[in-house]
Amino acid sequence: MIEFDFATPCAPKSSVVTVGVYDGVHLGHRFTLSKVVEEAKRTGRRSVVATFDVHPASIVRPESAPLMLCSLDQRLELLDELGIDLVAVIPFTQERSNEPPEEFIQQVLVESLGAGSIIVGDNFHFGKNRAGNVELLQHETAAAGISVEGVHLEAADGDVVSSTRIRQLVSAGEMTHATQLLNRVHELPGVVMRGDGRGGAELGYPTANVAVAPTLAVPALGIYAGWYRDERHNAIPAAISVGKRPTFYEDGEQLIEAHLLGFEGDLYGAHARVSFGHRLRPEEKFDGVEALIAQMEIDVADARAFCDLHADLAPSA
């Protein structure tokens, strides 16, 4: 997969194009994307995804913009894994939010990306005031002989698979269900920072303090079984805390701290990714350090058991 250069337009009708944020690249997205790849192979065209660098809501209504299930880099990696040939990352600005949908169709989809056919979700909306939809796409491209297909969204457990639904699951710490809908464990990228040093020196369980972007969807407070990986290490089983350390602080800063099972080493500055396989328990305030250490011993054993049993969920490079 390569990223599209807007300075070099695609040849007319050379692409099968889809448009969307595709946050999470979940099962519902994969159904639509598979149709794009199949149609491209059938017609000898390139499969193209037009996506945005940020969620449009972060520009249009920043006060209620959703937290993202993955970073832009993760989105590009996941799209590449699905066999997409070309990705056009479109900067979403205030100016773009006011763009008439007809203009977006002509300038971006037709002239720049060379759409010969367009495949989107049947509830897709775009352009100023979200006035663009499948019907408008069909109307604006019919004369040029460009086909448009609105794909009905995939459902699971009787409900549509959507980024919104998965965000709700992540927010509630329901990682097993989130994993099913994502078709992978929820993974957050970040940088390993120095913490207060208490984990190893005082508690006997050193942790990697992973700072993630505030725009990403962090699971509910609690202790999780999952994995840690970075540019030097493949997936290492971990007991992960998402919490404010109430045993030590009245109102502590929320941190993501991963205790890597069977690992010793310096991780400071690493560009890491932390995966959340299963929530073991909610965050608790203990009466003292001894009670906390006793519970941490149980958490580590539970995390190891989960990771051993579900090794197939461990993310790969």
What are the tokens at 231?
A: 């540019």
Return the CA Rg of the chain.
22
Identify which of 148, 127, 132, 133 has the alpha carbon closest to the alpha carbon of residue 17.
148
Helix (H, G, I), strand (E, B), or coil: what is residue 110? helix
267 and 190 Cβ atoms separated by less than 8 Å: no
Residue 238 CA to residue 32 CA, distance in Å, equals 34
Q: How far is CA 56 from the centre of its chain?
A: 15
Cβ contacts of residue 183 below 8 Å, gap of 6+? 26, 27, 30
**Alpha carbon distance, N-terminus to C-terminus of the chain:** 16
Q: Taking a C-beta distance cutoff of 8 angstroms, is the pair 122, 134 a contact?
A: yes
Cα separation of 110 and 112, whole Å?
Answer: 6
Q: What is the SS3 assignment for 199?
A: helix
Residues identified as active-site: 257
Query: Phi-psi bin for 233: left (phi > 0), alpha (psi -120 to 50), beta?
Result: beta
Residue type, 314: A
CA angle 129, 130, 131 (to 5 degrees): 85
Quickly count helices (H) and strands (E) in the chain: 10, 14
